[in-house]
Amino acid sequence: MRIDKSSPIPKYHQLKEIIREMVEQEELKEGEMIPSERELCERFGISRMTVRQAVMELVNEGVLYREQGRGTFVAARKVQQPTARLTSFTQDMRERGMEPSSEVLEVEVEGAGPLAARRLGVEEGERVIRLRRLRLADGEPMALETSHLLYEVAKGVLGRDLAGRSLYEELSAAGVEISRAEQSYEAVPVSEEEAALLGVEPGSAALLIERVTYDAGGRPFEYVRSTYRGDRYRITATLTPGDRVWRPPH
Protein backbone atom coordinates (compact mmCIF):
# COMPACT_ATOMS: atom_id res chain seq x y z
CA MET A 1 0.00 0.00 0.00
CA ARG A 2 1.44 3.30 -1.06
CA ILE A 3 0.45 6.80 -1.95
CA ASP A 4 0.24 7.62 -5.64
CA LYS A 5 1.52 11.16 -5.95
CA SER A 6 0.43 11.49 -9.58
CA SER A 7 -3.17 10.64 -8.71
CA PRO A 8 -5.81 13.41 -8.68
CA ILE A 9 -7.11 11.89 -5.39
CA PRO A 10 -5.79 14.05 -2.53
CA LYS A 11 -2.96 12.44 -0.58
CA TYR A 12 -4.72 12.73 2.79
CA HIS A 13 -7.65 10.87 1.29
CA GLN A 14 -5.40 8.09 0.02
CA LEU A 15 -3.82 7.81 3.47
CA LYS A 16 -7.26 7.59 5.06
CA GLU A 17 -8.15 4.70 2.77
CA ILE A 18 -4.88 2.95 3.61
CA ILE A 19 -5.45 3.26 7.36
CA ARG A 20 -9.09 2.23 6.98
CA GLU A 21 -7.98 -0.86 5.07
CA MET A 22 -5.39 -1.72 7.74
CA VAL A 23 -8.13 -1.54 10.39
CA GLU A 24 -10.53 -3.58 8.24
CA GLN A 25 -7.86 -6.26 7.66
CA GLU A 26 -6.89 -6.14 11.35
CA GLU A 27 -3.32 -5.23 10.58
CA LEU A 28 -4.11 -2.55 13.12
CA LYS A 29 -6.24 -4.10 15.83
CA GLU A 30 -8.89 -2.63 18.11
CA GLY A 31 -7.26 -0.66 20.94
CA GLU A 32 -3.85 -0.69 19.21
CA MET A 33 -1.88 2.55 18.88
CA ILE A 34 -1.42 3.68 15.28
CA PRO A 35 2.08 4.59 14.07
CA SER A 36 3.22 8.09 15.06
CA GLU A 37 2.87 11.08 12.73
CA ARG A 38 6.58 10.95 12.04
CA GLU A 39 6.54 7.27 11.13
CA LEU A 40 3.58 7.80 8.79
CA CYS A 41 5.31 10.77 7.12
CA GLU A 42 8.45 8.73 6.54
CA ARG A 43 6.73 5.56 5.46
CA PHE A 44 4.52 7.24 2.86
CA GLY A 45 6.76 10.19 1.95
CA ILE A 46 4.12 12.80 2.81
CA SER A 47 3.94 15.95 4.95
CA ARG A 48 2.84 16.19 8.55
CA MET A 49 -0.15 18.29 7.52
CA THR A 50 -1.39 15.53 5.24
CA VAL A 51 -1.04 12.93 7.99
CA ARG A 52 -2.80 15.21 10.49
CA GLN A 53 -5.77 15.81 8.23
CA ALA A 54 -6.21 12.09 7.50
CA VAL A 55 -5.99 11.14 11.18
CA MET A 56 -8.31 13.96 12.28
CA GLU A 57 -10.98 12.88 9.81
CA LEU A 58 -10.71 9.24 10.88
CA VAL A 59 -11.11 10.36 14.50
CA ASN A 60 -14.23 12.32 13.53
CA GLU A 61 -15.60 9.29 11.71
CA GLY A 62 -15.09 7.11 14.78
CA VAL A 63 -12.50 4.80 13.16
CA LEU A 64 -9.75 6.06 15.50
CA TYR A 65 -9.78 7.82 18.85
CA ARG A 66 -7.32 10.04 20.64
CA GLU A 67 -6.19 9.88 24.20
CA GLN A 68 -4.71 13.06 25.57
CA GLY A 69 -0.97 12.70 25.97
CA ARG A 70 -0.96 9.03 24.96
CA GLY A 71 -1.61 8.80 21.25
CA THR A 72 -4.15 7.74 18.66
CA PHE A 73 -5.74 4.30 18.79
CA VAL A 74 -8.01 2.07 16.74
CA ALA A 75 -11.61 2.38 17.93
CA ALA A 76 -13.90 -0.57 18.59
CA ARG A 77 -15.75 -1.74 15.51
CA LYS A 78 -19.18 -0.26 15.07
CA VAL A 79 -22.19 -2.41 15.80
CA GLN A 80 -23.73 -3.36 12.46
CA GLN A 81 -27.47 -3.07 12.44
CA PRO A 82 -29.30 -4.55 9.44
CA THR A 83 -32.34 -2.43 8.60
CA ALA A 84 -34.84 -5.11 7.72
CA ARG A 85 -35.04 -7.09 10.99
CA LEU A 86 -37.33 -6.23 13.84
CA THR A 87 -35.15 -6.84 16.87
CA SER A 88 -34.72 -5.45 20.36
CA PHE A 89 -31.60 -3.87 21.78
CA THR A 90 -31.16 -6.91 24.01
CA GLN A 91 -31.25 -9.30 21.03
CA ASP A 92 -28.91 -7.09 18.96
CA MET A 93 -26.27 -7.01 21.67
CA ARG A 94 -26.53 -10.70 22.61
CA GLU A 95 -26.12 -11.69 18.97
CA ARG A 96 -22.83 -9.82 19.00
CA GLY A 97 -21.66 -11.52 22.17
CA MET A 98 -22.13 -8.40 24.27
CA GLU A 99 -23.97 -8.19 27.57
CA PRO A 100 -26.89 -5.74 27.42
CA SER A 101 -28.03 -3.71 30.42
CA SER A 102 -30.03 -0.55 31.05
CA GLU A 103 -30.30 2.29 33.49
CA VAL A 104 -33.88 3.38 33.91
CA LEU A 105 -33.74 7.18 33.97
CA GLU A 106 -37.48 7.84 34.11
CA VAL A 107 -40.65 5.82 34.14
CA GLU A 108 -43.89 7.75 34.26
CA VAL A 109 -47.55 7.25 33.47
CA GLU A 110 -48.72 10.45 31.80
CA GLY A 111 -50.92 11.95 29.10
CA ALA A 112 -49.53 11.59 25.57
CA GLY A 113 -48.11 14.81 24.10
CA PRO A 114 -49.04 15.89 20.55
CA LEU A 115 -46.22 14.02 18.79
CA ALA A 116 -46.59 10.72 20.67
CA ALA A 117 -50.38 10.92 20.25
CA ARG A 118 -50.08 11.41 16.50
CA ARG A 119 -47.59 8.57 16.10
CA LEU A 120 -49.72 6.24 18.21
CA GLY A 121 -52.94 7.28 16.50
CA VAL A 122 -54.65 8.31 19.76
CA GLU A 123 -56.04 11.52 21.24
CA GLU A 124 -53.65 13.85 23.04
CA GLY A 125 -53.76 13.11 26.75
CA GLU A 126 -54.38 9.37 26.27
CA ARG A 127 -52.56 7.50 29.03
CA VAL A 128 -49.08 6.33 28.07
CA ILE A 129 -46.10 4.91 29.93
CA ARG A 130 -43.00 7.01 29.22
CA LEU A 131 -39.83 5.04 29.80
CA ARG A 132 -36.43 6.63 29.38
CA ARG A 133 -33.45 4.31 29.49
CA LEU A 134 -29.72 4.49 28.97
CA ARG A 135 -28.79 1.34 27.06
CA LEU A 136 -25.39 -0.21 27.65
CA ALA A 137 -23.39 -3.03 26.08
CA ASP A 138 -20.69 -4.61 28.23
CA GLY A 139 -21.16 -1.64 30.54
CA GLU A 140 -20.49 0.94 27.81
CA PRO A 141 -23.26 3.44 26.96
CA MET A 142 -24.57 2.91 23.43
CA ALA A 143 -27.93 4.67 23.22
CA LEU A 144 -30.58 6.70 24.99
CA GLU A 145 -34.13 5.58 24.42
CA THR A 146 -37.46 7.13 25.28
CA SER A 147 -40.40 4.78 24.70
CA HIS A 148 -44.03 5.87 24.83
CA LEU A 149 -46.21 2.82 25.36
CA LEU A 150 -50.00 2.77 25.30
CA TYR A 151 -50.93 2.20 28.92
CA GLU A 152 -53.82 -0.10 28.10
CA VAL A 153 -51.59 -2.41 26.06
CA ALA A 154 -48.37 -2.29 28.09
CA LYS A 155 -49.45 -1.80 31.70
CA GLY A 156 -48.30 -5.37 32.42
CA VAL A 157 -44.67 -4.20 32.31
CA LEU A 158 -45.09 -1.65 35.10
CA GLY A 159 -43.36 -2.82 38.22
CA ARG A 160 -41.15 -5.23 36.27
CA ASP A 161 -37.38 -4.99 36.44
CA LEU A 162 -36.70 -3.01 33.28
CA ALA A 163 -33.12 -2.23 34.25
CA GLY A 164 -31.98 -5.81 33.99
CA ARG A 165 -34.40 -7.06 31.34
CA SER A 166 -35.68 -6.61 27.86
CA LEU A 167 -38.82 -4.53 27.40
CA TYR A 168 -39.85 -6.72 24.46
CA GLU A 169 -39.42 -9.90 26.52
CA GLU A 170 -41.49 -8.38 29.32
CA LEU A 171 -44.17 -7.32 26.82
CA SER A 172 -44.24 -10.80 25.36
CA ALA A 173 -44.58 -12.28 28.87
CA ALA A 174 -47.49 -9.88 29.42
CA GLY A 175 -49.17 -11.27 26.29
CA VAL A 176 -48.32 -8.47 23.84
CA GLU A 177 -47.38 -9.81 20.44
CA ILE A 178 -45.34 -7.59 18.15
CA SER A 179 -46.24 -7.83 14.46
CA ARG A 180 -44.19 -5.14 12.74
CA ALA A 181 -42.54 -1.76 13.17
CA GLU A 182 -41.78 1.28 11.09
CA GLN A 183 -38.49 2.99 11.62
CA SER A 184 -36.72 6.14 10.42
CA TYR A 185 -33.12 7.34 10.76
CA GLU A 186 -31.81 10.87 11.05
CA ALA A 187 -28.38 12.33 11.72
CA VAL A 188 -28.32 14.58 14.79
CA PRO A 189 -25.70 16.14 17.07
CA VAL A 190 -25.96 15.09 20.72
CA SER A 191 -27.00 17.68 23.31
CA GLU A 192 -24.92 18.43 26.41
CA GLU A 193 -27.18 16.30 28.59
CA GLU A 194 -27.12 13.37 26.16
CA ALA A 195 -23.34 13.70 25.77
CA ALA A 196 -22.81 13.39 29.52
CA LEU A 197 -24.95 10.25 29.68
CA LEU A 198 -23.44 8.66 26.56
CA GLY A 199 -19.87 9.55 27.49
CA VAL A 200 -19.16 11.44 24.25
CA GLU A 201 -18.39 15.06 23.37
CA PRO A 202 -21.38 17.42 23.11
CA GLY A 203 -22.20 17.99 19.46
CA SER A 204 -20.78 14.66 18.28
CA ALA A 205 -22.72 12.71 15.68
CA ALA A 206 -25.57 10.42 16.60
CA LEU A 207 -28.30 8.49 14.84
CA LEU A 208 -31.81 9.40 15.86
CA ILE A 209 -33.92 6.31 15.30
CA GLU A 210 -37.67 6.61 15.59
CA ARG A 211 -39.77 3.48 15.78
CA VAL A 212 -43.50 2.87 15.84
CA THR A 213 -44.28 -0.72 16.80
CA TYR A 214 -47.58 -2.49 16.09
CA ASP A 215 -49.24 -5.31 18.00
CA ALA A 216 -50.82 -8.42 16.47
CA GLY A 217 -54.07 -6.54 15.93
CA GLY A 218 -52.24 -3.96 13.79
CA ARG A 219 -52.48 -1.29 16.47
CA PRO A 220 -49.51 1.03 17.06
CA PHE A 221 -48.66 0.71 20.74
CA GLU A 222 -45.04 1.83 21.06
CA TYR A 223 -43.42 5.05 19.87
CA VAL A 224 -39.69 5.23 20.57
CA ARG A 225 -37.04 7.86 20.00
CA SER A 226 -33.53 6.48 20.35
CA THR A 227 -30.26 8.38 20.13
CA TYR A 228 -27.52 5.95 19.14
CA ARG A 229 -23.85 6.87 19.33
CA GLY A 230 -22.66 7.61 15.80
CA ASP A 231 -19.18 6.31 16.59
CA ARG A 232 -20.49 2.89 17.69
CA TYR A 233 -23.32 2.24 15.23
CA ARG A 234 -23.58 1.56 11.57
CA ILE A 235 -26.75 0.76 9.64
CA THR A 236 -26.56 -1.84 6.87
CA ALA A 237 -29.15 -2.83 4.30
CA THR A 238 -29.57 -5.46 1.61
CA LEU A 239 -30.94 -3.80 -1.49
CA THR A 240 -32.91 -5.65 -4.14
CA PRO A 241 -33.89 -4.10 -7.46
CA GLY A 242 -37.25 -2.35 -7.55
CA ASP A 243 -39.62 -2.29 -10.55
CA ARG A 244 -37.49 0.24 -12.30
CA VAL A 245 -33.81 -0.49 -12.06
CA TRP A 246 -31.64 2.61 -11.79
CA ARG A 247 -28.96 2.81 -14.46
CA PRO A 248 -26.04 5.19 -14.45
CA PRO A 249 -26.44 8.00 -16.99
CA HIS A 250 -24.26 7.54 -20.06
Q: Assess 204 for contact with ligand GLP (CB under 6 A).
A: no
The correct pick among 129, 134, 224, 233 for binding ligand GLP (CB under 6 A) is 224
Q: Assess 227 for contact with ligand GLP (CB under 6 A).
A: no
Q: Cα dist. 107→110, 159, 176 in Å?
A: 10, 10, 19
Binders of ligand GLP among residues 79 to 98 (CB under 6 A) are 88-90
Q: Are 130 and 212 in contact (CB under 8 A)?
A: no
Q: Assess 207 for contact with ligand GLP (CB under 6 A).
A: no
Amino acid, res. 126: E
Cα of 37 vs its chain's centroid, Å: 30
DSSP symbol at 10: -
Phi, psi of 212 (to 5 degrees): -115, 125
Choice between 52 and 94, CB closer to ligand GLP: 94
# of chain residues touching ligand GLP (CB under 6 A):
12
Q: Are 53 and 37 in contact (CB under 8 A)?
A: no
Q: Tell me, residue by residue from 169 to 188, as one string, x for binding to ligand GLP by CB under 6 A and - for no binding.
A: --------------------
The distance of closest approach from Cβ of residue 229 to ligand GLP in the complex, given in angstroms and rounded to an integer, is: 13
Q: Assess 142 for contact with ligand GLP (CB under 6 A).
A: no
Q: Say how far apart CA 116 and CA 243 lie, in whole Å.
A: 35
Residues at the contact surface with ligand GLP, assessed by CB under 6 A? 88-90, 145, 147, 166-168, 209, 211, 224, 226
